[in-house]
Chain A
Amino acid sequence: MDAATIGLIAFGAVLFLLAMRVPIAFSLASVATVGTFFIFAFRTGTFMPERAIRATTSMVFSNSFDLIHSYDLSMIPLFVALGHIAYRADITTKIYHAAKVWLTRLPGGVAMASVMGCGGFSAITGSSIACASTMGRICTPEMLRMGYDPRLATASVAAGGTLGSLIPPSVLFIIYGIFTETSISSLFLAGVLPGLLTLAGFILVIAIWVWRSPEIAPPTDVRYSSKERFRAAMESWPAVMLFVLIIGGIYGGIFTATEAAAVCVVAATLIGFAQGKLNLKGLWDAVKETCIQTSAIFFIAAGAKIFVAFIALTNVAPMIVNVVSDAQLSVVVLMLAIAVIYLVLGMFLDPIGIMVLTLPLMIPLVESYDLNLIWFGVVVIKLLEIGLITPPVGLNVFVIANVVGKDAPIDKIFAGITRFLSVDVIVLALIMSFPMISLLIPLGAR
C-alpha cells in the first residue's frame, strides 16, 4: 500500500471516528500515530516494526511538544485568563451593560458590537485561535445572560474570531510572506479592506437574522434615560483603560502583542483588587478555569499538528496540487480549483499546516499564471479562515464550544455558523473577482 493511499484512508478514518463520538483530539492523534507507523513500517518494502516505533513516537512527541513549548502561544492562556479575570472583576459586565444601554434600540446590537469587538481584538493579536478563545470567553457568556439565543451568541464570536488573521498583525500573513518572499507589510495592508468587508458582512448577517427571527435577540423596547446612558459609559472605564493600554503599548513600542497579554492580566487583576470586585479566591478560580480550558484547546491543536506531519509523509498534498497543475486550467477554473482544495483541506487541517504543506507547490503554479502574489495571499488567508469554522474540524468552533459548555454543543454552533459561512463565500468571491479590494491600500501606501 503506498503512502498516498494510507493518507486518503486516514481522512476517512478521522471522519468515521468523529462521527462515532471519539473526542476530536484523540481522533486526530490516534489516526496520525497509527498511519505514521504503517508508513514507516513499510517504507523499505519489508515490515520493520522496531524502527517504525522509534520514528513514529519521535515524530508525535516532537510535534506535540513543540506546539506547547512555545513563547508566542503563551498569549493564549494569558488572554483566556484575562477573559476570566475581567469577567469576575465585573469589567466585561460593565462594558456589556454600556453596550446594551447604548444599543438597546438596535435589534441584535450587542451581538454586532461583539463582532466589532472581535475586529478590534484582531488588531492586537495575530492568531485567530487567540481571538476566538479570548472573545468567546468575554462575549458569549454576557450575551447568553442578556437573553441571546446560544446559536447567535456562539456563532457570531466563532465567525468574528476568524478576523484575527485577516486584520493585521497576522501570523498567517507572516508565514505566507516568508514562503513567497513577498513584503509582509504589504500583505498586512492588503488584509485590511477584506477584513473590514468581512466584518461588515457579519454585521449584516446578524441584522438580517434578527430581523427575520426577532426572538433570538433580547427585546428592543426597553428605554434608558440619558443619565443612565452616561452612567453606563462612565462605569465601563476599566475595559476602556485595558484597551488603551494594549493599543498604546503595542503601537507605542513599549511591548509586543504577546507581552500585551501578560501586562493586561496583571492590570485587570490590579483593577479588580482595587475596586474590591476580585479577591484571591476569585483570581485562583479564574486561573484554574483557564487551565482546564486551555489544556483541552491545546490538546486538539497538538492532535492537529501531529496529523499535519503525518499528511506530509503521505505526500497527499503534492499529489492534489499536481493534478491541478497538470490539467492546464484557465485562470478562472484554476482559482476555483484552488478554492476547493483549500476548503477541503480546511475541513481537516489547521491553517499553518495547510500552508506548510501546499505553498511550496502552489506558489510556482500561481506564478506560472502570472497572478499577483499579494492578492493571492489574501485569497489563501481568507480560505484558511473559512476552514476554521467549517465542519468537521473547525478549530474556532471547538474553542467556543470549550469555553461555553453545555449551552452550546458544537453542532448547534455549526448550525448557527452556516449563515456566516454564506456571507464568507460572497466576500471570498468579491476578493477573488476584484483584486483591487486587496491591492488598493498597499498600492496607495507606496
Chain B
Amino acid sequence: ETVLIHGEAGPNRGARANALQWFADQVAERSSGDLRMDIQWGGALFKANAAVQSLADGVADTGSVIAVYYPQEMAAYGIADLPVNNPDAWVGMRATDELMRTNEAVAENLAEKNLVYIGTWTTSQVNIGCKGDAIRSVADIEGKKVRGVGAYGKVFGEAGANMVNMSIYDAYQGLDTGLIDCSQGYSYAVSALKQAEVMDNYTMLNWGQVGGVGIFMNKDMFDSLTAEQQEVLTTTGADMADEFGRMITIANDKAIASMKEQGVEIIELPDAERAKLVEGGQKFLAAWVETAEASGLPGDKMLEDYAALIAKYTQERDTNGYPWAQSGN
C-alpha cells in the first residue's frame, strides 16, 4: 500500500471537498487498495499561497493548487481564470483538463517545477450579488463599492466600480454594514456562506469562471510510482471533471432556488450587456499572453486552443447533454 499525503487549503465540506473525497475514494477503489490518499484539510500543512513550492519540495505528494496565487509560476493553468466567454462549469473544466493534459509545452513547463497535472475543478461561473440597487446593466456598476476577485474584479473596476479588497468570508459583514454594495461570488458559495441573508438581488452574468483550481502532484513521487498506479491517478483525475460538474451544477441550482425562496431577486444580465463585459476582459487576455510568453509558453496559440476546446465541449454538451444526465436517465 502506498499512502499519498494530500494538502488541501479548504475545509472538508462543500462541493470541492466532496469531489476531492470522491477522488480519494476512487483512487483507493480503482487501485484495489494499492493507493491510499491521506488528506490534510484546512491548510494544516500549507496554505493555498504556498501550495506550488510545497508540492515541488515534497511537503505533500499531491495537493490542491489555486492558479491565481501564482500568476507567474502557474501561468499555463491561469488560462482557466481568464474572463473569456465561458459560463458553463462542465465545459470549462473539460476544456481546461484537455489543454493541461495534452499540451506538451504545459507539461514541460510543469516538469521544470517538479510538478505533474492530475485533475481540475472550477469555482463555476462568476456572478454578483448586491444589497440595494441591482446591477441590470454594465452602466449600473459605476460608483458601486464592489468586492471583486482576479481579472473579473479588474473589469468591474474599469466599469467604474470602487473596488474594495476583502475576503469572501468578510463579505457578509461588509454587505450588512454597507461597507460594500456588491460582492462577486459563485452561487453555491453565496449560499454556503448565507450571504443571501444580506443580499437583495443577485445578477447572473453568464460570463466566465475562475477555473484554475485543481490537483497537482510532486513529480519525483509520481515518477516513483508504477505505470498502473500512475494510470489510476491520471484517469481518476480526468473523470473528476464529470463528477464535479454533476455536483456543482446541482449545488448551484439548489443555491439559486434557495435564494429565490429567501426573496432575493435573481436577474439575468441581457446578452448585449454581457458582450460588453466580455469585451472589457480583452485587455487582460493580452496581459496574460505577455506573462505566459515570458515564461516560455506559446500564449496566443494556447488561447486559440482553449477557445477551440470550449467550443468543442459546448457542442458536445448541446448534442449529447451532460454525461451524468445521459447515464442517469
Indicate if B172 sits at the interface (CB-CB under 8 A): yes
8 Å CB contacts to B: which residues of A287-342? Answer: 308-309, 312-313, 315
Asked if residues A55 and B57 are in contact (CB atoms below 8 Å), the reply is yes
Asked if residues B44 and A356 are in contact (CB atoms below 8 Å), the reply is yes
Query: Within the assembled complex, what's the spacing in Å between the Cα atoms of A175 and B41?
Result: 12
Asked if residues B11 and A178 are in contact (CB atoms below 8 Å), the reply is yes
Query: Within the assembled complex, what's the spacing in Å between the Cα atoms of A404 and B325?
Result: 66
Q: Which residues of A contact B194 (CB under 8 A)?
A: 183-185
Nearest Cβ on chain A to B47's Cβ, whole angstroms: 5
Asked if residues B50 and A54 are in contact (CB atoms below 8 Å), the reply is no
What 5 A-B pairs are tightest by C-beta distance, nearest first?
A253-B178, A58-B57, A356-B42, A62-B50, A253-B177
Of the candidates A57, A185, A250, the one having the most CB atoms from chain B within 10 angstroms of its own CB is A185
15 sampled A-B residue pairs with Cβ under 8 A: A40-B58, A55-B58, A178-B11, A181-B14, A184-B193, A252-B177, A253-B178, A255-B179, A308-B44, A312-B40, A355-B42, A357-B44, A359-B12, A359-B42, A360-B42
Nearest Cβ on chain A to B251's Cβ, whole angstroms: 11
Asked if residues A180 and B13 are in contact (CB atoms below 8 Å), the reply is yes
Residues of chain B at interface, number, CB under 8 A = 35
**A-contact bits for B1-37, CB 8 A (1 contact / 0 none):** 0000100000111100000000000000000000000
Nearest Cβ on chain A to B7's Cβ, whole angstroms: 9
Closest B residue to A70 by beta carbon equals B47
Indicate if B170 sits at the interface (CB-CB under 8 A): yes
B5, B11, B178: which contacts A179 (Cβ < 8 A)?
A: B11
Query: Within the assembled complex, what's the spacing in Å between the Cα atoms of A178 and B173?
Result: 15
Asked if residues B50 and A66 are in contact (CB atoms below 8 Å), the reply is yes
Nearest Cβ on chain A to B113's Cβ, whole angstroms: 13
Asked if residues B44 and A309 are in contact (CB atoms below 8 Å), the reply is yes
Query: Within the assembled complex, what's the spacing in Å between the Cα atoms of A309 and B43?
Result: 9
8 Å CB contacts to A: which residues of B166-194? Answer: 166, 169-170, 172-174, 177-179, 192-194
Asked if residues A185 and B58 are in contact (CB atoms below 8 Å), the reply is no
Nearest Cβ on chain B to A56's Cβ, whole angstroms: 8
Nearest Cβ on chain A to B17's Cβ, whole angstroms: 9
Asked if residues A251 and B177 are in contact (CB atoms below 8 Å), the reply is yes
Nearest Cβ on chain B to A193's Cβ, whole angstroms: 20
Closest A residue to B166 by beta carbon equals A256
Query: Within the assembled complex, what's the spacing in Å between the Cα atoms of A178 and B12?
Result: 9
Binding site for B on A (CB under 8 A): 40, 51, 54-55, 57-59, 62-63, 65-66, 169, 174-175, 178-181, 183-185, 250-256, 308-309, 312-313, 315, 353, 355-357, 359-360
The total number of A-B Cβ pairs within 8 Å is: 95
Asked if residues A174 and B169 are in contact (CB atoms below 8 Å), the reply is yes
Indicate if B269 sits at the interface (CB-CB under 8 A): no
Asked if residues A309 and B166 are in contact (CB atoms below 8 Å), the reply is no
Nearest Cβ on chain A to B39's Cβ, whole angstroms: 8
Q: Which residues of A contact B172 (CB under 8 A)?
A: 184-185
Asked if residues A59 and B59 are in contact (CB atoms below 8 Å), the reply is yes
A54, A66, A256, A353: which contacts B174 (Cβ < 8 A)?
A: A256
Closest A residue to B47 by beta carbon equals A66
Known: A185-B194, A252-B177, A360-B12. A58 touches B54 (CB 8 A): yes
Interface secondary structure of A, over-half rule: helix
Asked if residues A58 and B14 are in contact (CB atoms below 8 Å), the reply is no
Query: Within the assembled complex, what's the spacing in Å between the Cα atoms of A276 and B14?
Result: 56
Indicate if B38 sits at the interface (CB-CB under 8 A): yes
Nearest Cβ on chain A to B111's Cβ, whole angstroms: 17
Q: Which residues of B contact A175 (CB under 8 A)?
A: 42
Nearest Cβ on chain A to B248's Cβ, whole angstroms: 15
Asked if residues A360 and B59 are in contact (CB atoms below 8 Å), the reply is no
Query: Within the assembled complex, what's the spacing in Å between the Cα atoms of A222 and B159?
Result: 66
Closest A residue to B13 by beta carbon equals A181
Query: Within the assembled complex, what's the spacing in Å between the Cα atoms of A360 and B40?
Result: 9
Asked if residues B47 and A256 are in contact (CB atoms below 8 Å), the reply is no
Query: Within the assembled complex, what's the spacing in Å between the Cα atoms of A251 and B46?
Result: 34
Q: Which residues of A contact B173 (CB under 8 A)?
A: 169, 256
Nearest Cβ on chain B to A65's Cβ, whole angstroms: 8
Nearest Cβ on chain B to A373's Cβ, whole angstroms: 11
Known: A308-B44, A315-B38, A359-B42. A58 touches B53 (CB 8 A): yes
Asked if residues A313 and B5 are in contact (CB atoms below 8 Å), the reply is yes
Indicate if B73 sits at the interface (CB-CB under 8 A): no
Asked if residues A58 and B59 are in contact (CB atoms below 8 Å), the reply is yes
Asked if residues B46 and A59 are in contact (CB atoms below 8 Å), the reply is yes
Asked if residues B177 and A62 are in contact (CB atoms below 8 Å), the reply is no
Q: Which residues of A contact B59 (CB under 8 A)?
A: 55, 58-59, 62
Nearest Cβ on chain B to A436's Cβ, whole angstroms: 22
Q: Which residues of A contact B11 (CB under 8 A)?
A: 178-179, 359-360
Besides A178-B13, A179-B13, A315-B38, 4 other A-B contacts (C-beta < 8 A): A59-B54, A178-B11, A179-B11, A256-B173
Asked if residues B45 and A313 are in contact (CB atoms below 8 Å), the reply is yes
Of the candidates B5, B13, B192, the one having the most CB atoms from chain A within 10 angstroms of its own CB is B13
A57, A254, A308, A315: which contacts B179 (Cβ < 8 A)?
A: A254
Asked if residues A66 and B49 are in contact (CB atoms below 8 Å), the reply is yes
Asked if residues A181 and B177 are in contact (CB atoms below 8 Å), the reply is no
